[in-house]
Each structure stands twice: as structure tokens, then as C-alpha cells.
Amino acid sequence: MADHVVVIGLGRFGESVALELMATGADVLGIDIGEDPVARMNARLTHAVQADATREEVLRQLGVDEAEYVVVAIGDSIEASLLTSSLVLSFGVPQLWAKAVSDAHGRILEQIGVHHVVHPEREIGRRVAHLLRARLQDYIELGGGYALVRTTPPAAVIGRPIREIHVRRNFGVTVIASKGSDGDWKDVTGDTVLADGDEILLTGPIAKAERFHLK
Ligand code: ATP
Ligand code: ATP
Ligand code: CA
């Protein structure tokens, strides 16, 4: 578990990463060059410090060179993002996550060796497109061409055990769980009989997973 995390840059993205880490019980050191973000986050993080993260001696004073998990959440200043990330990498920090604001920014972060590069705008944008177009309740791309989808069961699979319908063979998806009128999620097995109005969670190749509910 990542129990101690340094979050550099307390804009909207850094703030939500930091607060969610706090909510899950981690210690968070937040660093921002601005007075306002630090004042806003002061009482809500383990520590919040106003400092310029592009300065090596500053990072060392704050113990970032000893950290195990660091998130660089600086976006608009690509220069500050790259300088900070490069310093953190030079300390040998084993897990560096950085936010990219463009494809080029992300490519450079990867080239300098950042372990995890995230593109929040691009990822959420793609997700919204899939949710909207296929009218899904939830859609998560798993990589490797697979997706996890929350949706409703199509008429073709309602009222008979999944095993008899050969859902996996005929539709190319695996139904993992279902939620009926009682509101509880249950594992789906070959014996499960889905009903109109259930919700289901399924995985499969993207095109099959997102079109299954239309069958
Ligand atoms: P978001 O979209 O998450 O709000 P953003 O992509 O617009 O952020 P910025 O606003 O540039 O990115 O940066 C986020 C935070 O990083 C800001 O609060 C900013 O003050 C801080 N920041 C920028 N440069 C530095 C730096 N050199 N050291 C520490 N913090 C910095
Ligand atoms: P198979 O005989 O195809 O290898 P199996 O050993 O899993 O499948 P059963 O559990 O009897 O056999 O299921 C029969 C069929 O029911 C499977 O081929 C599959 O198409 C479908 N099936 C069972 N469980 C699921 C599930 N969770 N999601 C989708 N389809 C399922
Ligand atoms: Ca911005």
C-alpha cells in the first residue's frame, strides 16, 4: 500500500488525487508554489507546503528524495512539470506518477523515465464518448482491447439461465455480476437468470462489450 505520498501541484487534478489519498487513509505531503492552493489545502492534508518544486534543494529539504510515491500534478507549465519530474527521478524515487496535458508532454515524460503517465482530459473525454454513444452506465477501458461495462441485460438473455443461452460463446462477453431489485450485486454463474430491470457488469473485447446490451 502507498501509505505516504507526495503530491506536487495542488490544482484541480492534484487536489482530487491528494484528497482521495487522504480519504483512503494515506499520509499526504502536498507541495505548491502558490499561496492560495496551500492555504486551501492546509487543514485537509497531513502537510501542505508552499515551495518551488523545480529547485533541488527545496525538494531535498522536504524529504522528497526519500519518498516512495510521488505525483507530479503540474500541467500548464510543461517546463516546471519536466524539471520537477526529472529531479524526482534523479533521486531514484521508485514510483513517479505525472500528469500530461498533451500527447507531446506525455511522450517526453515517458522518455525521461516517468513510471506512470496519465492523461486525465484525454481519458475522461474518451470515456464520455463511449458512455454517450452506447448509452452505458459505466465504461472502463482495461487496455489490450478489453473493456469493463456496466449496463442492462438485452432481451436476448433475459429469463433463462446464462448457461442455456451460452452467453460467452454467442456474444463474446463474460457477465461478472448482476444487481436486481434488492439492490445488491451478486456473482453471475451459469445458473443465473437475468431479469428485465437488472443491472449487469461485464467484460469483453471493446466492440462486443459496449454493444452487448443492444442485442
Ligand atoms: P489543474 O487542471 O489540475 O487545475 P493545470 O493543468 O491547470 O492544473 P497548473 O495550474 O499549471 O496545472 O498547475 C497545478 C498546480 O501546480 C498549480 O496550483 C500551480 O501553482 C502548481 N505549480 C506550478 N508550478 C509549480 C512549481 N514550480 N512548484 C510547485 N507547484 C507548482
Ligand atoms: P464451456 O463449456 O463453453 O467451456 P463452461 O465450462 O464455463 O463453458 P458452463 O459454466 O456450464 O460451462 O457454462 C456454459 C456456457 O454458459 C458457457 O459456454 C458460456 O457461454 C455461458 N456462461 C457461463 N457463465 C457465464 C458468464 N458468467 N458470462 C457469460 N457466459 C457465461
Ligand atoms: Ca489548467
| Domain CATH number, residue 34 | 3.40.50.720
| Domain CATH number, residue 201 | 3.30.70.1450
Parallel, antiparallel, or unpaired: how do β-strands 199-205 and 69-72 relate? unpaired
Share of the chain above pLDDT 90, in %: 92
The count of structural domains within the chain is: 2
| Domain range enclosing 99 | 4-118
Tell me the average pLDDT across 195-207.
96
Identify which ligand lies nearest to the alpha carbon of 6.
1
* Burial class (CB within 10 angstroms; exposed 0-12, middle 13-18, buried 19+) of 27: middle
Kindly state the helix (H) or strand (E) to which residue 206 belongs, with its residue range: helix 206-211
Check: CB of residue 115 under 8 Å from CB of residue 97: yes
**Domain stop point among 118, 149, 180:** 118
Q: For 131-181, how does the pLDDT look when each residue is reduced to its tens digit (9 = 90+)?
A: 898 889 999 989 899 999 999 999 999 999 999 999 999 999 999 999 999
Are 41 and 62 within one domain?
A: yes
Are 128 and 94 within one domain?
A: no
Minimal CA–CA distance to 18: which of 3, 8, 7?
A: 7
Kindly state the helix (H) or strand (E) to which residue 80 belongs, with its residue range: helix 78-90
Are 99 and 22 within one domain?
A: yes
* Burial class (CB within 10 angstroms; exposed 0-12, middle 13-18, buried 19+) of 59: buried
**Domain stop point among 100, 118, 136:** 118
Are 68 and 95 within one domain?
A: yes
Question: Which amino acid, residue 113?
Answer: G
Residue from 19, 29, 32 to probe ligand 1 pocket by mutation (most atoms less than 8 Å from CB): 32
**Atom nearest to 175 CA in ligand 2:** 28
Are 111 and 165 within one domain?
A: no
Residue nearest to atom 27 of ligand 2 (CA): 175
Residue nearest to atom 24 of ligand 2 (CA): 190
Whether residue 2 is predicted with pLDDT greater than 90 in this model: the reply is no
Per-residue pLDDT, 1: 81
Are 114 and 146 within one domain?
A: no
User: Which ipTM did the prediction report?
Assistant: 0.74
